Structure 1
Amino acid sequence: MSIYEELGIRPIINASATLTRLGGSLMPPEVIEAMVEASRHFVDLDELQRRVGEELARLTHNEAAYVSAGAAAGLVLATAACITGTDPAAIRQLPDLTGLKNEVIVHKSHRNGYDHAVRQVGVKLVEIGYATGTAPWELERAINERTAAVFWFQGAMTGRGDLPLETVIEIASARGVPVVVDAAAQLPPVENLWRFTQMGAALAIFSGGKDLRGPQSSGLVVGRKDLIEAIRLNGNPNHSIGRPMKVGKEEMVGLLAAVKRYLALDHEARASQDEEVVAGWCAALNQIPGVKAERSFPNEAGQPLPRARVTFDAAQIGLSRDEVVARLAQGTPSIAVALAGADGIYLNPMTLADGEEQVVLDRLLAVLQG
């Protein structure tokens, strides 16, 4: 009996996305083996964090790197670092911002649930722009002596009338204000691990438990050496605002193994395989009256990988979209999919193990033809 069976939990085939609520992704053997090995010994955590960070920085062509307790924790620590630097008095003072920089600038179109991680440090978010567009002068006017950073959320919300990231970096850098890029789900492409910082961003933050397939409770922060040092001082095991965001030795070593693996992958072959899966799904599903399947690109996070959008004519198939989703979830095996509008679903191959693409197709065909 598996641990999940003992707990009365049904494992899920994830045809949706690298979602935290579904466990992010599945760790490959080399990551698990590295974590098991790390678990067998005591070690100085601060020393390990520094050495792992040095190796991650080398691998990703960055000045410095830090392993955080997920990407959201990386946002908290990046915000704190931009406020306090390495000043011990300022670090002890947080989250009291009296006399400290207390504003962070963000595009109005970039506001999302994850900016709560920025706000929990106590800063005020200063919005610029509208969905219809943002002018350079709006960012210039928003920057003042209280500005700690400009945050840029890369992903599905990017491009809705915002300034180009290059322009944001140019304006902010000229005024000595760091730009922090939340790129949690922006892998692939692998080049993003160094692209944002080479553009001039001070920090870029990635999830360790999404496409990197490292520990779900890990994140990767890369960028300027001075700010990474400030992040370390604001983080575990120091008694500072990041103390509850503990990163264990297993997560540090596991993420390092995951990054090494990711850099060695044939990403072109992986994308080609996903294209084949999507094409196969569409060909089979389009044979069913009342069903339309088509390639959708890019995926939900703006990653350059395909997925299939499948829409249903409820009158023809005798089922609503929600009934289809429910039957997939309640069946054996349980399958999670993403919703598409009012009458469709997305099928995503990026989170499937080999062979699961056929299981997903067979289950969906059985639901539709049952």
Structure 2
Amino acid sequence: MVVKSVDAVDALRRRGSVYERFGVHPIINGNGTQTILGGSIMEPEVAEAMAEASRTMVVLEELNEAAGQLIAEHTGAEAGLVTSGAAAGLTLQAAAVVAGEDPERIALLPEAAHDRNQIVIKSSHDSEFTQAWRQGGARLVWVGNEETCHDWEIESAISGETVALGFIASRWHPDSFEGLSKFVEIAHGHGLPLLVDAAAMLPPAENLRRFIEYGADLVSYSGGKAIKAPQSTGILCGRADLIAAAKLNASPHYSIGRPMKVAREEIVGLMAALELYVRRDHEADMRRWFSEGRTIVDAVIEIPGVTATIEQDDWLRPVPEVSIAFTSEWGGRSAEAIVNALAEGDPPIIIEASRRDDEDIFINPHGLMPGEAELIAERLQVEFEAG
């Protein structure tokens, strides 16, 4: 059944009534799974599992153990832990390699009780999230430049003060699994663990196991993006000894991770969402995203000065995105002005002006509900034709 755009608006009003009760405006999210927009929409089964969990008390250590076993099963890791988001997972990674299971060192964090606290990382991997490693007591040693990093530079940066190598898996830098494999080789050649931030590297679903298969020792994923768990959750998986150390540095223990508490309802929500994710028909998701993208492209492709395509790549753009660019024929408003107009509409539509030189606007359909692609297509067509 095709859902019309007007029906999509009515459905948004119904789903978002609790927000409107408090004066908050529900949005149509054409911008993927960004935290600033709340991540993703949980499946009803996840919300039901959380509600059920809220009515009963358990010992958190037992629940964490069960969750860890489930995570290990589905990631191929030795052990796992539910964290309060992927960034919290990075802080616990650092704490695990800097303080380990030593009570005195754990109590001192984020100050390190010794000089062996360095994580070596490529300069091209710099991001807002590397602060999370520093929060866990690590000192970051940057090597190379924003574009290149030679193996010898990594090797020469490793010293007696190095506790790990760090790898940020991101759509925004040129590294891929080939680069990861080399980093693993260097780290393990020096008897060091490799820590990976893979927060947004799902889909493809194969990536849930791929980083461990490549030899990473600790991997942090977001729970609130593709997995559709509560936005406040994440997955940390890896070597059993390092997960054991991460647990001691995490809540409910009195440690650096105490403020990063994960409620029992959230842990159960992550577990339920993970089970759904591994059983999900990912090919059907891909077909739906392509179809929604095609709806948008077809609506604007004939407008003078506008080009529109669908782009998909397992590393750079795993979810098929609509890529819109203005040619020399375009005489209308800027991409930013059009994006702002959509955000100020009723209902607000959130898409993004691109940071790429060959692209002006992109639309990610991951968070779209039935009929919302049609609504975006209609609104974009109006804005483009208005110039």
TM-score, normalized by length of structure 2?
0.90
Query: Match for residue 341 of structure 2?
Result: 327
Question: Do 1:109 and 1:131's aligned partners in 2 also have CA atoms closer than 8 Å?
Answer: yes
Query: Match for residue 337 of structure 1?
Result: 351
Query: Match for residue 5 of structure 2?
Result: none
Task: Indicate the SS of the match to 2:40.
Answer: coil
Question: Do 2:33 and 2:367's aligned partners in 1 also have CA atoms closer than 8 Å?
Answer: yes
Q: Deviations over 1:50-76 (max 9, x none)?
A: 111112211322211100000000000
Letter matched to residue 123 of structure 2:
K
Q: 1:76 to 1:314 in 2, by over 3 A?
A: same
Q: Which runs of 4+ in 1 moved over 6 A?
A: none
Query: Match for residue 244 of structure 1?
Result: 259
Query: Match for residue 94 of structure 1?
Result: 109
| Greater mean deviation of Cα atoms: 6-15 or 338-347 | 338-347
Gaps of 5+ in 2: 1-15
Which of 140, 144, 149 lines up with 1:125 in the alignment? 140
Task: Indicate the SS of the match to 2:339.
Answer: helix
Query: Match for residue 48 of structure 1?
Result: 63
Which of 204, 218, 222 lines up with 1:203 in the alignment? 218
Task: Indicate the SS of the match to 2:274.
Answer: helix
What pairs up with 1:291-310 in 2 under 5 angstroms? 291-298=306-313, 302-310=316-324
Q: 1:216 to 1:161 in 2, by over 3 A?
A: closer
Letter matched to residue 209 of structure 1:
G
Task: Indicate the SS of the match to 1:125.
Answer: strand
Task: Indicate the SS of the match to 1:164.
Answer: helix
Q: Using the TM superposition, give the Cα deviation of residue 85 of structure 1 relative to its aligned residue in structure 2, in angstroms.
A: 1.8
Question: Do 1:34 and 1:257's aligned partners in 2 also have CA atoms closer than 8 Å?
Answer: yes
Q: Using the TM superposition, give the Cα deviation of residue 289 of structure 1 relative to its aligned residue in structure 2, in angstroms.
A: 2.2
Q: 1:336 to 1:140 in 2, by over 3 A?
A: same
Task: Indicate the SS of the match to 1:278.
Answer: helix
Counterparts of 1:268 and 1:198 in 2: how far apart (Å)? 22
Q: 1:354 to 1:228 in 2, by over 3 A?
A: same
Query: Match for residue 346 of structure 1?
Result: 362
Task: Indicate the SS of the match to 1:305.
Answer: strand
Query: Match for residue 129 of structure 2?
Result: 114
Query: Match for residue 276 of structure 1?
Result: 291
Question: Do 2:93 and 2:136's aligned partners in 1 also have CA atoms closer than 8 Å?
Answer: no
Letter matched to residue 240 of structure 2:
K
2:48 pairs with 1:11: no
Gaps of 5+ in 1: none
Letter matched to residue 148 of structure 2:
G
Question: Do 1:312 and 1:320's aligned partners in 2 also have CA atoms closer than 8 Å?
Answer: no
Query: Match for residue 188 of structure 1?
Result: 203
TM-score, normalized by length of structure 1?
0.94
Query: Match for residue 268 of structure 2?
Result: 253
Counterparts of 1:13 and 1:59 in 2: how far apart (Å)? 32
Q: Using the TM superposition, give the Cα deviation of residue 130 of structure 1 relative to its aligned residue in structure 2, in angstroms.
A: 2.2
Q: Using the TM superposition, give the Cα deviation of residue 3 of structure 1 relative to its aligned residue in structure 2, in angstroms.
A: 2.4
Q: Deviations over 1:335-361 (max 9, x none)?
A: 000112587211111121122111111
Question: Percent of pairs identical after alignment?
Answer: 41
Q: Using the TM superposition, give the Cα deviation of residue 160 of structure 1 relative to its aligned residue in structure 2, in angstroms.
A: 5.6
Question: Do 1:349 and 1:357's aligned partners in 2 also have CA atoms closer than 8 Å?
Answer: yes
Q: 1:63 to 1:272 in 2, by over 3 A?
A: same
Counterparts of 2:328 and 2:31 in 1: how far apart (Å)? 22
